[in-house]
Amino acid sequence: MDFASLLGIISGIALIISAIFLGGNADVFLNVPGLMIVAGGTLAATLLTVNFKDVTNAFKAAWIVFTRDNTNPQEMIDTMLELSRVSHRHGLLKLGDVESDSHVLKRACNLLAEAASEQVIRNTLQNEIDSLIARHHSVQDVFRKMGAYAPAFGMLGTLIGLIQMLSQLSNPETIGPAMAVALLTTFYGSLLATVVFLPIAGKLHARTLAEVTNLEIIREGCISILTNDHYMHVYEQLASYLPEAQRKPVKLGKQQKEAAADGGAAKGNAGKAATGKQQKPAGPRG
């Protein structure tokens, strides 16, 4: 569960309600006709603007925001490093047996197992990223539109209340209460927009950026595995997607340590050989 989202919306509503109760009578903030105008009008305008399926998908996505944590990019990097180990030990064909909750990762492993070309893998995964951005944008757009419609219908309700108030100017005692009721719809519209709709749209946008980062890690990691890059080279390429403070030092397995030691020894022997050749004295001239 995403406690940050839950804490944010609960604390925002709680602070507003507390301010209302501390200011005096809370009953004056309840107006059923005003709620009908703002909530009903916002929903009706949204349904008129977008498809009904997009509206239902938007509310499902909002539920996901509060109930499901996003995949940590560091965890995805660890997953790709583990796949790199598997490919070096057992070959690319073994990646076809990988099981994952991510259908994109499973598809990428199947492409590697089928020996697809680098261009095919890159294009396929880039299409996945583009389609995800498009789907998420339509969901975010629903809440952005609701965040724009709610204050507008709040102002509309205020105008309706003002018209009703001005029609009863013959009774000055009713002007004050009628004015308060007229302003309530503006309050409802602003409350829904700033506490509910726009924050949810912003959270969904942040989730989209995080998911895109994970898909890019999958794409670049698969290409590195395909080209048989060294384990550390895969790590260095993927670690650039994380801020430096969040990067975890890579843990080398026994085979990786031996490979690194052999590589270091080979470089050392090559260096000694080159130094010996440079220091070899020239022979006597005949």
CA-wise closest residue to 219 among 92, 46, 77, 100 = 77
* 26-39 pLDDT, tens digit each: 777 888 888 899 99
CA-wise closest residue to 180 among 166, 156, 168, 162 = 162
Mapped onto helix, strand or coil, the DSSP state of residue 186 is helix
Model pLDDT, residue 271: 47
* 54-111 pLDDT, tens digit each: 899 899 888 877 777 777 888 888 888 888 888 888 888 888 888 888 889 999 999 9
Q: Which residues of the chain have pLDDT under 50?
A: 259-275, 277-280, 282-286
What is the spatial distance between Cα 58 and Cα 81, in angstroms, rounded to a whole number?
34
* CA distances in angstroms from 119 to 26, 96, 230, listed in the order given: 64, 19, 20
Model pLDDT, residue 267: 42
Radius of gyration of the chain (CA): 31
**Strand positions, DSSP E, the chain:** none
What is the spatial distance between Cα 182 and Cα 161, in angstroms, rounded to a whole number?
4
What is the spatial distance between Cα 224 and Cα 238, in angstroms, rounded to a whole number?
10
Model pLDDT, residue 250: 67
41's CB contacts (< 8 A; 6+ apart) are 149, 153, 156
